[in-house]
Amino acid sequence: MKGYIIYNTEDLTKNKRFIKFITETLNEYNIDVELVIIDRVELAELENPDFVINRSRNADVSRYFEGKNIRVFNSGKITEIANDKRKSYEYLEGIVPFMPLMSEEEAESSGKPYIIKSCNGHGGTQVFMVENFRQKNEAINEMKGNDFIFQKCCSDLGRDVRVYVIGNEIVQAMERTSAESFKSNYSLGGKAEPYTLKDYEISMVKKILNVLPMDYAGIDFIFHKGKAVFNEIEDAVGARMIYENTDIHIVKLFAEYIARKVRK
What is the assigned CATH class of domain 2-77+253-262?
alpha beta
Is 101-152 in CATH node 3.30.1490? yes
Beta carbons of 31 and 38 less than 8 angstroms apart:
no
Mean pLDDT is lowest, of 25-34, 77-86, 184-193, for 184-193
pLDDT in tens, 120-131: 887 777 899 999
Predicted pLDDT of residue 189: 56
Mean pLDDT in the chain?
93
How would residue 158 be classed by pLDDT, with cut points 50, 70 and 90?
Answer: confident
**pLDDT of 180 higher than 80:** no
Beta carbons of 158 and 143 less than 8 angstroms apart:
no
Give residue 72's identity as a one-letter amino acid code: V
Predicted pLDDT of residue 144: 85
**pLDDT of 183 higher than 80:** no
**Distance from C-alpha of 135 to C-alpha of 74, rounded to nearest angstrom:** 36
- What is the rounded radius of gyration, in angstroms, for the C-alpha atoms of the chain? 19
Global pTM reads 0.93
pLDDT cut 90: percent of the chain above it: 83
Topology of domain 82-96+155-248, CATH: D-amino Acid Aminotransferase; Chain A, domain 1 (3.30.470)
Predicted pLDDT of residue 186: 46
**pLDDT of 187 higher than 60:** no
What phi and psi, each to the nearest 5 degrees, are found at residue 25? -65, -45
Q: Identify any residues that bridge with 163 across adjacent strands, giving them in sequence order.
A: 173, 219
Where are the domains positioned within the chain? 2-77+253-262, 82-96+155-248, 101-152
pLDDT in tens, 212-258: 999 999 999 999 999 999 999 999 998 999 999 999 999 999 999 99
pLDDT in tens, 76-122: 999 999 999 999 999 999 999 999 999 999 998 998 999 999 998 87
Mean pLDDT is lowest, of 16-25, 93-102, 182-191, 212-221, for 182-191
**Which of these, 100, 84, 87, 94, lies nearest to 150 by C-alpha position?**
100
How would residue 188 be classed by pLDDT, with cut points 50, 70 and 90?
Answer: low
**pLDDT of 166 higher than 60:** yes
Predicted pLDDT of residue 126: 84
HEC readout, 33-56: EEEEEHHHCCHHHCCCCCEEEECC
Beta carbons of 182 and 156 less than 8 angstroms apart:
no
10 Å CB burial of residue 73 (0-12, 13-18, 19+) is buried
